[in-house]
Each structure stands twice: as structure tokens, then as C-alpha cells.
Amino acid sequence: MNPKPAFRKNGHPKRAIKLSTLRHGIKFFAVLSLLLLWTPAAWAFDYSAWEALLKQHVKPTTLDGVRLNALPYKTLKTDPAFSKVVKQFEDFSPADLKTRNEKLAFWINAYNVFAVKMVLDHYPVDSIKDAGSLFESVWKKRVGTVGGQPITLDEIEHGILRKMGEPRIHMAIVCASVSCPDIREEAYWPDRLEAQLAAQSQHFLMNPGKGLRVDKERKTVYLSSIFDWFKEDFASKGGVRAFLAPYAPERNRAALQNSDYGIAYMDYNWDLNTL
């Protein structure tokens, strides 16, 4: 038994089917377009090669009693994939970066790539600071080029990133040292940068060996020296205590926000974050 087709006003069943198919087609192409916009190819710079290296090489370890993510610099020294990543950054023109998140993601990744390059250019070294000299600190030493222009780690950090008003960069850029924030097992991407910076901040402050720890007997909060060196970057965000509180482990938040607790800063370990 064949039921009678349902007619629409001023319409025919076949036309209704065609309209329905058309609507489904429009929805499909709309979803497809969104998916295409979310792919790495939609951004001015594709970090896939750098991310693949990080996923392959970054491993957790403990150095001088501090938990951290580390890199096998000896292996990276001879890995042609790293040289290709460096060339990708050096050949890129920053003028192609349009949004704030694109700029932040690019320069955070660039800093981390070039810090590794600085170590490898002078490897073997016990510390990235060994790559410098009495006459030129490692931070002011040319480490490569970006868009055909020579660049230093200082220029990336102070001349570009700090001027963008995002204090969490200090928990994302990694100076190849034990006390630095951990290098992530993934690159920073414009479309998920907010979540990555939040997670990175939480991760750093969860580490009592270099991020944050509380001594209740002494009523003292011990923080990374990073928050002393760059406290002015947090001032416009309410200060170090207020800014860090939402990212701190819940067990430490009350102490961090309690003015009865003093602030002290941990010694900074500049030894290489190496496997």
C-alpha cells in the first residue's frame, strides 16, 4: 500500500524533495567551510612540523630534584627535521600575521624554536647562557632571521611579546633551562591559544620545584623568580598575586591571596633542560 504523498501549499512533492535536498546541501557546505577554516592551512603559518618534533622528542624527567619536560639536544643536533623548522620560521614574513592571536602564537613558538637553536648552535653546553660571552649576553646575540631580518631572543621577548600585554607569555616561552616553564608537547595555535595559555599557566604553578609552593609554617608563598623579574607586566592586571590566583592549585589560592603571607622567590636553575 502506497500512502498518498504529502503536498505542500503551492508545491509539489518532487519540489519539496528538491528543496529539502538543497537545504541539506547548503548545510553540508556550511559545515565543510567551517572545518576548512579550522585547519592549520587557514592560518598564515602552519606549526605542524614544529608540533610533530615536540610530540616526538619532549619527555618528562627530573633534574636536580625538579620535575620538568626536557629535550634530547644531542639527538636534535643531527635531526634534519629541526633544521627544516628553523628555515620555515626564517623564511616567513611576520607581515602576513593579521590577528593578535596569530602574532602571539607565532612569536611564542618562534622564541621556543630559536632558544633550542641557540643551544644547538653551541652544543654541547651546560646552560644556554654558555652560548653568550663577557661581551655579548646570549639574549642579545643574533640567533637567526625572521622575514630576512636578524633577530635575537631579547628582541622577541622584550621588543615584541611583552609589548602585546599578555603576561602569560612568561609561562609559555622557554629559555631551555630547568627553572623555565616546561616546553609543551605541542605548538601554540591561534585558534586554541587562550586554552593553551591557561593550561600552561596552571601547569607551571602546579610545580612546587619551580612555579609555586607554600610554606604554611613560615607563612610564605614561594614563586618563580620570573614573577619578580617581570612583575611590572602583571601590575596592570591587578598584580602578581591577583593575576596568578585563578591559575594556582586550589590548595594554594588562599595563601596566595592572603596579604599575611609574604612572597619570596626561588633560586633560578639555568642548567640545560636536557634528557
Q: Which amino acid is at 220?
A: T
DSSP track, 202-223:
HHHHT-TTTTEEEETTTTEEEE
Q: Which residue has the cell 601554540?
A: 188
Mean pLDDT of the chain: 90
pLDDT tens track for 154-208: 999 999 999 999 999 999 999 999 999 999 999 999 999 999 999 999 999 999 9
pLDDT tens track for 76-111: 999 999 999 999 999 999 999 999 999 999 999 999
Q: What's the pTM value of the predicted model, to 2 decimals? A: 0.85
d(CA 153, CA 88): 17
* Nearest partner of 273 among 141, 182, 171, 156, judged by Cα: 182
d(CA 198, CA 125): 32
Phi, psi values for residue 177, rounded to 5°: -130, 160
Listed by start position, the domains of the chain span: 43-265
At residue 43, the pLDDT reads 84
* Nearest partner of 181 among 224, 236, 152, judged by Cα: 224
Percent pLDDT > 70 in the chain is: 85
At residue 179, the pLDDT reads 98
Around Cβ 245, how many Cβ atoms within 10 Å? 15
pLDDT tens track for 226-242: 999 999 999 999 999 99
At residue 42, the pLDDT reads 77
Q: Which residue has the higher pLDDT, 49 or 43?
A: 49
What does DSSP assign to residue 39? S
At residue 8, the pLDDT reads 43
